């Protein structure tokens, strides 16, 4: 059993804990338990932490100094991630970090290097890699069912910015460049990398049509190293929506929502499959714990984690300049 600390006990930090733990006891089969943590607003989290059996420590330094804590799970503001990952590695703690990993490629590479030097496992929280629908899409692309991949379409949108008020960290443009990219869109960038490979260049338009805080409309046209094109959008003031589609010479695959996948072949009859709902937060934390225990490597290679940040950084530059940006290798 891996003893972990949750750093950041806001909404998402609590989602992660609740996925593997109930009333302070790990759910059946869970290989990880949260025993401690820290938060910027301890009074708000005190009752919940007590129910979960989590000791609230004064700060992140105290978490890293706690001998019971073997790993840290970071659900903190984006700009803090690189420094916190490096500090955790230097303290000999394995680290699971929520997306976006960091906001620039240089800091992402430094964080990975620190973990490799310390010999600790680093895992990045792109939970949609753990969907059965994702696994089938990747398998069908690999076995030739789609032929040559020509184009990828993606959208991940939602209404989160409606709740943002000035002074909230997510409403800070430095923490949320390109509107919904940090909270939502970066998941789709990772999905495209996972399914279709690395990006070569991007062109981006991003602006606020309605929002008084962050951009509410962000759209990207991209080119992959394979030559396939990409169009993608993330909207931070729309109803919730997830869709990713792969267009090949022999067929089209489309994931609509997280559990529905449709296939349209060039000639024969297609199909629609519906998958059971998966607790993808529990799955990613279980995979992290298994990697720490010496089992299979966490199924998001660190090179892809760094590349995802490189794409995000290029998108920020492209939007600011009004030109196409190459993605740093």
How do residues 90-135 score in pLDDT, each as one tens digit? 999 999 999 999 999 999 999 999 999 999 999 999 999 999 999 9
User: Which residue range is the domain that position 207 belongs to?
Assistant: 128-326
pLDDT value, residue 28: 79
At which of 102, 126, 150 does a domain end?
126
pLDDT value, residue 235: 98
At which of 126, 149, 172 does a domain end?
126
Q: How many CB atoms lie within 10 A of CB 285?
A: 28
Task: Find the range with the poorest average confidence among 23-27, 56-60, 182-186.
Answer: 23-27
- 245 plus 296 within the same structural domain: yes
- 237 plus 121 within the same structural domain: no
- 89 plus 138 within the same structural domain: no
pTM of the model: 0.95
- 294 plus 154 within the same structural domain: yes
**Separation CA 150–CA 123 (nearest Å):** 31
**Separation CA 303–CA 139 (nearest Å):** 21
- 283 plus 301 within the same structural domain: yes
Pairing of strands 260-265, 251-256: antiparallel
pLDDT tens digit sequence for 214-225: 999 999 999 999
Instruction: Tally the C-alpha atoms within 13 A of residue 292's C-alpha that lie toward its C-beta.
Output: 24
**Separation CA 129–CA 242 (nearest Å):** 14
- 121 plus 133 within the same structural domain: no
DSSP state of 266: S
Could you give the percent of the chain with pLDDT greater than 70? 99
**Separation CA 54–CA 63 (nearest Å):** 12
Tokens read off for 235: 């909207």
CATH number of residue 277's parent domain:
3.30.360.10
Q: How many distinct structural domains can be found in the chain?
A: 2
Mean pLDDT of 296-313: 97
- 83 plus 156 within the same structural domain: no
Would you call 241 helix, strand, or coil by DSSP?
Answer: strand
pLDDT range class, residue 23, cuts 50, 70, 90: low
236 has a pLDDT exceeding 80: yes
- 104 plus 159 within the same structural domain: no
pLDDT tens digit sequence for 6-17: 999 999 999 999
At which of 97, 126, 155 does a domain end?
126
pLDDT range class, residue 301, cuts 50, 70, 90: very high
Would you call 138 helix, strand, or coil by DSSP?
Answer: helix
Q: How many CB atoms lie within 10 A of CB 264?
A: 15
pLDDT tens digit sequence for 154-213: 999 999 999 898 888 888 888 889 999 999 999 999 999 999 999 999 999 999 999 999
- 82 plus 141 within the same structural domain: no
Average pLDDT, the chain: 95
- 170 plus 55 within the same structural domain: no
Give Cα separations from 163 to 43, 154, 171, 179 (angstroms): 21, 24, 9, 13
Residues 208-239: b if buried by 16+ CB within 10 A, e if exposed:
beebebbbbbbbbebbbeeebebebbbbbbbe
CATH number of residue 65's parent domain:
3.40.50.720
Q: Are 285 and 6 in contact (CB under 8 A)?
A: no
pLDDT value, residue 30: 84
- 284 plus 214 within the same structural domain: yes
pLDDT value, residue 27: 83
């Amino acid at each position: 059993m891996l003893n972990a600390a949750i750093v950041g006990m806001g909404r998402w930090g609590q989602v992660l804990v609740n996925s593997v733990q109930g009333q302070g006891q790990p759910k059946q089969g869970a290989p990880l338990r949260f025993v401690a943590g820290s938060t910027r607003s301890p009074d708000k989290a005190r009752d919940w932490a007590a129910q979960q059996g989590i000791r609230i420590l004064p700060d992140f330094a105290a978490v890293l100094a706690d001998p019971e804590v073997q790993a840290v799970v970071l659900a903190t503001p984006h700009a803090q991630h690189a420094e916190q990952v490096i500090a955790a590695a230097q303290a000999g703690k394995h680290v699971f970090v929520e997306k976006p990993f960091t906001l620039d490629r240089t800091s992402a590479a430094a964080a990975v290097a620190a973990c490799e030097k310390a010999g600790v496992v680093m895992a990045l929280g792109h939970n949609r890699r753990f969907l059965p629908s994702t696994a089938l899409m990747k398998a069908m692309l690999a076995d030739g069912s789609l032929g040559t991949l020509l184009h990828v379409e993606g959208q991940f949108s939602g209404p989160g910015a409606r709740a943002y008020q000035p002074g909230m960290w997510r409403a800070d443009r430095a923490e949320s460049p390109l509107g919904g990219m940090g909270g939502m869109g970066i998941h789709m960038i990772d999905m495209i990398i996972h399914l279709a490979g690395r990006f070569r260049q991007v062109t981006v338009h991003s602006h606020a049509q309605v929002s008084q805080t962050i951009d509410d409309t962000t759209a990207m046209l991209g080119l992959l190293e394979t030559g396939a094109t990409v169009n993608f959008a993330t909207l931070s003031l729309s109803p919730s929506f997830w869709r990713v589609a792969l267009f090949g010479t022999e067929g089209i695959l489309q994931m609509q929502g997280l559990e529905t996948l449709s296939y349209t072949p060039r000639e024969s009859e297609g199909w629609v499959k519906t998958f059971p709902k998966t607790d993808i937060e529990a799955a990613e934390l279980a995979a992290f714990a298994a990697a720490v225990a010496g089992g299979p490597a966490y199924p998001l290679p660190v090179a892809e984690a760094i590349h995802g940040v490189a794409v995000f950084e290029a998108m920020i530059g492209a939007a600011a300049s009004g030109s196409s940006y190459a993605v740093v290798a």
